[in-house]
Amino acid sequence: MDREAVETIIQEKIGPAFRRIGRPSYKRPSLEAINRIEFPRGFRFPEFTLFLGEENQSTVEHIGHFTIQCGEAVANEFLKLRLFANSLTGSAFSWYINLQPNLIHRWQELEQKFHEQFYRIEQEISTADLSRLRQMEGESVENFITWFKRARIRWHLDIPEREFVKLAQSVLGYNLRKKFDGTEFHDLFEIVSRASRYEGILKEDYQRKNSSRGSYYRDPNTEIYSVEVGDQGIKDVSIEIDATEVVATRPYVCKALAKPTRNQRIPHLVMDIKKNWLELEKVYSFDISKVD
């Protein structure tokens, strides 16, 4: 019994489900003659920026990256055809390998099909749209201006630099707009530089206003001397406690420090009757002239 007779018997028993399965083979979408073109001697394959085919990726930007990264091969469109698959991955690579064999003859044809498959129409943003943006609370002016410049590039806004600087100034946070109202900046760097310094001042001012005056936390390793002040007929007397912390990498003895005597623990109140105001004389337990 030969092989054909055996296959006939199996087909009769199993039915149309039985079929001869051949080994799959892959063929490039470009012409076979193009695939046989060799690269120049010593050619180094570039590390391409990969395109995955996701919605947030621009086909125009990818073609631009690919063209630059091709290096010396950019002058030969057939070498570009051979290299393009190396810049694809994910669903984009799956699309490429499933193109019809011998479909592509020139680089322009492959580029056109790539755009047809993955190009996404981006929402158009106008200058008026940018003017409605605002720096978020807590967002640094440096991060905001960086994002603002990227928005101009991404949406291809053709705005003169002078007008763009004014636009960036107008969308800063309220405190910055109030501070620099009427100020004319020459460029974005000047905005970031001056506004960042002012932000630092605002932050420091906020910390001062919201610090807990009169709330002190006792260090178990530090000796604290209480101060008692008599009423002496004066109302609304507030006493401030000044503290000094010495930080060092190793223990040391400061000879300028000495345990205060009993008389030194009580500050003297000096009343200037003519000016009718209270001056509190502060006494320290160490030589204040030796403190930075």
Instruction: Compute the mean pLDDT over every residue in the chain, rounded to the nearest whole number.
Output: 76
Q: Indicate the SS3 state at residue 277.
A: strand
Residue 6 C-beta-side C-alpha neighbours within 13 Å: 3
Per-residue pLDDT at 232 exceeds 70? no
% of residues, the chain, pLDDT over 70: 64
Residue 66: predicted pLDDT: 93
Q: What is the pLDDT of residues 41-78, one digit of tens each?
A: 888 888 999 999 887 788 988 999 999 999 888 889 99
Per-residue pLDDT at 134 exceeds 70? yes
Residues sharing a CB contact under 8 Å with residue 155, sequence separation 6 or more, in sequence order: 122, 124, 125
Residue 258: predicted pLDDT: 55
Residue 89: predicted pLDDT: 93
Closest alpha carbon to 242 in 290, 281, 203: 281
% of residues, the chain, pLDDT over 90: 29
Q: What is the pLDDT of residues 185-206, one digit of tens each?
A: 999 999 999 999 999 998 888 8
Work out the pLDDT band at 30, boundaries 50, 70, 90.
Answer: confident
Average pLDDT over residues 247-256: 60
